[in-house]
A = this chain, B = another copy of it.
Amino acid sequence: MKVAFVIFDGLTALDFVGFHDPITRLKTMGYMPDLEWRVCARAESVRDGAGLAIRADEVAGPLGGYDLIFIPGGFGTRTLKDDPGFIDWIRTAAACKWKVSVCTGSLILGAAGFLEGKSATTHPAAHDLLAAYTEGAVRERIVEDGEVITGGGVATSIDLGLYLVEKFSGAEARAAMQKQMDYPYQGPSPLHS
């Protein structure tokens, strides 16, 4: 499996890192030895909403060769959802099997047309914005609709990452990972649509 972690100016770093940590542990802890990932952006480096600078591995490359695309949220999504250049780049991920977001990352999935007819969630304060892209906007922390999986605000990233760990590698992998992460919380049950 190849994962594209998308980052952009004005992301919230915890949306990204809270998901990146458990997903990359699938490889580093030996559950998915063939897992590959790239941090993808349209610039060599981006800054999160608090100024934290994170570097990309791939700059402006097409996203269609990945199996899973992950889009975090952050205030940057408020303008990027209406930025044709950015959204055209996200649309290169159309062929990716799994489309996953945390927080207002779902607005980007929506703007790219990936939420049509899908149930999805977003940050609790952004549901009105999400409703522009799908009639299936729901207030849940994790929503799974086929291969589109969306999470609620910011720190939901960890629960969503662990949910995918369990989905891909089973409950024992999740339990071992939570122990290694010193994360004692069970997380929400996903809403399935």
Chain A residues packing against B (C-beta within 8 Å): 12-14, 17-18, 20-21, 24-25, 28, 39, 45, 49-55, 57, 103, 123-125, 141, 152-156, 158, 179-183, 185
Contacts and interface: CB of A to CB of B under 8 A. Distances in A.
B55 A28 contact: no
B158 A181 contact: no
B28 A49 contact: yes
Most B C-beta atoms less than 10 A away, residue of A24, A28, A103, A183: A183
Contacts of A156: 182
Contact of A181 (B57, B153, B181): B153
Contact of A12 (B21, B49, B53): B21
B50 A52 contact: no
A140 to B, nearest CB: 11
Contacts of A49: 28
Contacts of A17: 13-14, 17-18, 52
20 contacts: A13-B17, A14-B18, A14-B158, A17-B17, A17-B18, A17-B52, A18-B18, A20-B50, A21-B50, A21-B155, A24-B51, A28-B49, A53-B54, A53-B55, A55-B55, A123-B182, A124-B179, A124-B182, A154-B180, A155-B181
Contacts of A25: 50
Contact of A158 (B50, B152, B155): B155
Contacts of A57: 51, 53
Contacts of A180: 125, 153-154
B50 A154 contact: no
Nearest to A158: B155
A180 B74 CA distance: 11
9 tightest A-B CB contacts, nearest first = A153-B182, A53-B55, A24-B50, A155-B183, A14-B21, A17-B17, A154-B181, A152-B182, A155-B181
Most B C-beta atoms less than 10 A away, residue of A18, A51, A54, A123: A18
